[in-house]
Structure 1
């Protein structure tokens, strides 16, 4: 026979189980499609959420004034980018040259980089953003790309009919390498008539050397170009070409990178070179490179 204590414990346990079951049934979630259980009329109804009343709604955007009758519509102001656009023009000139002009009104004083068929040089725009130069053409259809330091750019094209009948050699480098291109035409000696280089007097020979690029810029890109018409009146022979570099405090004991482009018979080729400069105790001497470019063979016409 059960004792009173066991019976009392069993009754309390049964009451708790029934209470928990009733609570779980009342609070369990209703799945979609199940009918909603009817409310127990003996239980007080729970208050629903308070109704939110929205009154006095006002639009905050300002109305636009209608245009007066008969008034002409006002044109939209020109965009700032149009006024600041970079433009370039290229016009063929005698001796297979091109008159290149760049206009960048909002880039005054900036660094300008010009690219043409592998040749690259850097210059400075003037205070008004203008640049002009005579640039030797390396192809018949000469394409020039001009870009400013801040990202603006333009493209110009010129048709140069006599580019294919001109012999050209380009020596280009970056920084202060001390490089120069020297041409000794038809057996000429150094310092005599027919020795053509950047420091020679105008008319020193049949050809000419043009230097492009601003050496005053930081890490400038410089290009020297020797040009000579392929046919010479009553003259034929060899033009000896050398690349020379003076040993200075800026290049001594360093490796100097250079590139040579050669236009011959309408065909353009290139060659890269790394020059190990002598130590600084050789300052003032010259390093002569005889095999950087091929000598020109000129026939009379």
Structure 2
């Protein structure tokens, strides 16, 4: 990102929930990129397994990204019950000199999700679904949404930034199966947190420049320099985390910037911007993203972005959006 050079050119109309100024700049590095979610990524959740029953899960309303045309989401009215995967029937072996045939049925496979709070207001999220190996699973949490893929054993292990003190996670498979996990994150009030989410390889990325840091210097956090969770725990800096399996088909991706406002000793501003590189994968297209920002009262501020990308002759340049995410004002402790 060093040595950026401004390009004076008309990029086209930018549709967003707020007015956004943008600059076209050329650069040597890029990132990854959210469009409308396909219906296949948002199955109706037929049931779920709750770990420690602390919340009334029937009152959950999923507030995931809603772009033009809308997005189908798991039903919030479904009763939270234990989920059993369908049993599978093996071939019926022929028994010599016996007219009747027998069939072996595998035991039902239970899908279980658990959540546990860890340092930096994060949550360790575990999913066990041995009957669903190598399957796409969509994670929903307080408006944030991203897709992962289960292992060959049908498991997923994630560390996810919490967006609510009473944190509920819904994990949904495309066949309608799913599970729910929940926990309490006491440390959440100690952190500022901003999310950008999108679909596919659209080139979106968050840039955080802490306390006047220049591009490429210490204190500039982005995809290629995400910072460290240990620094966030110690209060010496923020951390950028990316969630979602980019190797999956049309993945849903979420990038989260977290800053430890309660542990930080410095005062000043953190400049937050959203950038996207013009690449052969997105040039000439209209791409979409959504931002989620935690407010002081615990609510989530949401903004939708529709961005027309210049033609492919501008490949290698960056679009810089300075007003989609609000800069953070930090008062040192």
Matches for 1:174-193 after TM superposition, within 5 Å:
174-193=199-218
Q: Quick one: which of 290, 307, 310 aligns to 1:278?
A: 310
Task: Please say if 1:212 is aligned against 2:243.
Answer: yes
Q: Cα deviations across residues 20-68 of structure 1 (Å, max 9, x unaligned)?
A: xxxxxxxxxxxxxxxxxxxxxxxxxxxxxxxxxxxxxxxxxxxxxxxxx
- Offset of residue 106 of structure 1: 0.5
Does the 8 A contact of 2:168 with 2:181 survive in 1? yes
Does the 8 A contact of 1:232 with 1:299 survive in 2? no
Matches for 1:149-160 after TM superposition, within 5 Å:
149-160=174-185
Corresponding residue for residue 261 of structure 2: 230
Aligned length: 223
CA distance in 1, matches of 2:255, 2:248: 17
Greater Rg over alpha carbons, structure: 1
Corresponding residue for residue 288 of structure 1: 320
Corresponding residue for residue 30 of structure 2: none
- Offset of residue 201 of structure 1: 5.8
Which runs of 4 or more aligned residues in structure 1 lie more than 3 Å from their structure 2 counterparts after TM superposition?
Answer: 201-205
Higher RCO, Cα 8 Å, sep 6+: 2
Q: Give the TM-score, by structure 2 length.
A: 0.64
Task: Please say if 1:199 is aligned against 2:224.
Answer: yes
Task: Please say if 1:221 is aligned against 2:252.
Answer: yes
Matches for 1:9-158 after TM superposition, within 5 Å:
83-158=108-183
- Offset of residue 231 of structure 1: 2.7
Corresponding residue for residue 190 of structure 2: 165
The answer for unaligned runs of 5 or more in structure 1 is 1-78
Does the 8 A contact of 2:226 with 2:239 survive in 1? no
CA distance in 2, matches of 1:182, 1:198: 8
- Offset of residue 152 of structure 1: 1.2
- Offset of residue 212 of structure 1: 0.2
Corresponding residue for residue 277 of structure 2: 246
- Offset of residue 264 of structure 1: 3.2
- Offset of residue 232 of structure 1: 4.3
Task: Please say if 1:259 is aligned against 2:284.
Answer: no
Q: Give the TM-score, by structure 1 length.
A: 0.71
Does the 8 A contact of 1:197 with 1:208 survive in 2? no
Higher helix share: 1
Q: CA RMSD in A?
A: 1.7
Does the 8 A contact of 1:173 with 1:223 survive in 2? yes
